[in-house]
Each structure stands twice: as C-alpha cells, then as structure tokens.
Amino acid sequence: MVGASWPHYPPCVSEDCTNAACCGQEFKYVWPELIGKPASEAAEIIKKSNPAVTVLILKPGFIRLENFCCNRVYVFSDGNGRVSEVPTVG
C-alpha cells in the first residue's frame, strides 16, 4: 500500500518508513516555500500537491503527536496565522 491508496489520517500509516523522504515516493513531502504564507492557503497547496495526506493546522501552543505518519502533515502557524515551520510529511 503506497501513496494515494493510504487512508486519510487517522489511522496513522507509516509502513516501514521513518522519515519523510521514504513516504514521498509518489508525491511532494516537504514544503519550505510555504514559510510565512497564511496557514489555510498553505494547507490547500499541500493537499493539491499530495492527496495522500491529511493536513492539520496547529496554532501556537498546540502540540503534535510524536508518532511518525506518512499520511499526515502538520502546519504550524504563528500568532498571525502564518506558517512558522517547514511543513513536512510525518
């Protein structure tokens, strides 16, 4: 089971992958160009470039789960609703 055939998060899917590059064999898996963009706009860009993931926007103070998932991308936003960290599959 790879890529677009994965269920949308949850449940978490990682198979034997332990890093984003392993997950991104079919689709984009890292988005450094989204730093500073509005988080909601970034989420839409991520969904279009990788339909195998569910995008979760996290506001300041929210914490992420530490488990690794190939079908999840966290978008961390700052107090102004802009992307503050590079979104990456995981």
Amino acid 16: pLDDT? 87
Domains of the chain and CATH, by start: 3-76 (3.30.10.10)
What is the residue-averaged pLDDT of the chain?
Answer: 89
Question: What is the average per-residue pLDDT within 59-64?
Answer: 88
Q: Do the Cβ atoms of 74 and 58 come closer than 8 Å?
A: yes
Q: Has residue 1 got a pLDDT over 50?
A: no
pLDDT of residue 6: 63
15-37: per-residue pLDDT in tens? Answer: 888 899 898 778 999 999 999 99
Residue 39 to residues 29, 34, 62, Cα–Cα distance (Å): 17, 8, 14
Instruction: Identify the bridge partners of residue 55 per DSSP, sorted by sequence position.
Output: 73
Q: How do beta strands 72-76 and 54-58 pair?
A: parallel
Structure confidence at residue 3 (pLDDT): 53
Distance CA 20, CA 75 (A): 15
Amino acid at 4: A
